[in-house]
Amino acid sequence: MLPGAPHLVRNGAGTLTLDGLALADLAREFGSPLYVYSQQAMLDALAPYQRALAGRRHQICYAMKANSNLAVLQTFARAGCGLDIVSGGELLRAQAAGVPGEHIVFSGVGKTPAEMRAALQYGVRCFNVESLPELDTLSAEAVAQGRRAPVSLRVNPDVDAGTHPYISTGLRDNKFGVPHDAARAAYRHAASLPGLEVVGIDCHIGSQITQIAPYLDALDRLLDLVEALADDGIPLHHIDVGGGLGIRYADEDPPAADALIAQLLQRLDARGHGQRELLMEPGRSLVGNAGVLLTQVQVLKPGPSKNFCIVDAAMNDLVRPAMYEAWMAIEACQARPGPATTWDVVGPVCESGDWIGRERALAVQPGDVLAVLSAGAYGMAMASNYNTRPRAAEVLIVGGQPQLVREREQVAQLFAGERLLA
């Protein structure tokens, strides 16, 4: 079964479809490279989170860094989600999508005073604070506005999420969060500051996590603190367990969101914390398998040791393979009869690191359209303009109809802000 199924299906005629639409047709209509997402696949990924949390005090804050297109934000906001943001830019996007402040948590290890001011003005529900200096700065900014900033401390629980080192965030050596053994003192400091109101605790231990155990370990570490802080007279209202649930790119077998949540709730209940509000910040698991990147084959270049299939998407469009050696499935949008050849699927950017997939068996000809699967998360969101390449367009399929939700960037836009020497 393809990652992305049941929305992504190859029909009897060998045509790859998303929500019943032939992907090659979409590439012809909207151009290539092109990101295409299924709104229904996003909602279906959200459903097990909502089902498992129904009847509990909770808020799901979609981590918009995974895919911050305004139409995607609207999709989750209309479905009842809040947002996890990490920059002033994401705050403005959230505003543009009409997401109210009380549904937003603000994470990030290096918030600037200007970002804090903007978020305070917008009335975000919680600042997830990562250091003592950040507490002091935030308090001062809040006092200057005559407000109190709601804060949670991001605690680094020092658990190994068992994922790629670049996307593991809950280990002692990571830059993130307040060390577990320093958190109690940090909370006391926070509670003493005039501009802060301590409301919760949070953690985020990594991304593309495929096991439940690290979540339970992290939750236990947080609950130890919650209990110690209650003794200190600092009650915490919510517990935010972060994001990080993995998806299937190849043969991974991550737990379903409802299975994960059932175990988290069981642990909360067992330790007498069932009444506390649970926050979650999923990103990848809500959008990753809801999207594909379409790219057209430009040149086939068989060689003595390797065969190269050169496509019109590159590391600037999708950096995950180059950056993390991530494996993402690649499928021809229209199957061809005949034998497959082994290709390295690469982009036109001037670096050997510019590859999308290595040693893939594909039957392709120039002009064919390929789909890179599981590209809904950290695809377009990490795209750049390297080699002065305009970023791709984005299409969201809504109710079976393709909607252009981001125009293709024009080259002239890329240097419009630059100035020639006098």
Residues that bind ligand LLP (CB under 6 A): 63, 66, 84, 107, 167, 204, 207-208, 242-245, 281-285, 320, 324, 378
Please say which residue, 365 or 384, places its beta carbon nearer to ligand LLP. 384
In whole angstroms, the minimum distance from the beta carbon of 338 to ligand LLP comes to 34
- The number of angstroms, rounded, from the C-alpha of 73 to the middle of its chain's C-alpha atoms is 12
Question: For 109, which DSSP code?
Answer: S
61 annotated active-site: no
In whole angstroms, the minimum distance from the beta carbon of 86 to ligand LLP comes to 7
Please say which residue, 243 or 347, places its beta carbon nearer to ligand LLP. 243
**Three-state SS at 19:** coil
In whole angstroms, the minimum distance from the beta carbon of 147 to ligand LLP comes to 23
In whole angstroms, the minimum distance from the beta carbon of 65 to ligand LLP comes to 6
Please say which residue, 64 or 396, places its beta carbon nearer to ligand LLP. 64
Which whole-number Å values give the CA distances from 236 to 17, 93, 159, in the listed order?
A: 47, 29, 22
Out of 61, 81, 333, 350, the active site residue is 350
Identify the CA nearest to 37 among candidates 65, 64, 15, 4: 4
Name, in order, each residue with C-beta under 8 angstroms of 81's C-beta and a sequence gap of 6 or more. 46, 59, 60, 61, 62, 103
DSSP secondary structure of 166-230: GGB--STTSS-SEEHHHHHHHHHHHHHSTTEEEEEEE---BSSB--SHHHHHHHHHHHHHHHHHH
In whole angstroms, the minimum distance from the beta carbon of 87 to ligand LLP comes to 12
Please say which residue, 328 or 362, places its beta carbon nearer to ligand LLP. 328
Please say which residue, 80 or 302, places its beta carbon nearer to ligand LLP. 80
Bridge partners of 341, per DSSP, are 362
Residues assigned a catalytic role: 350
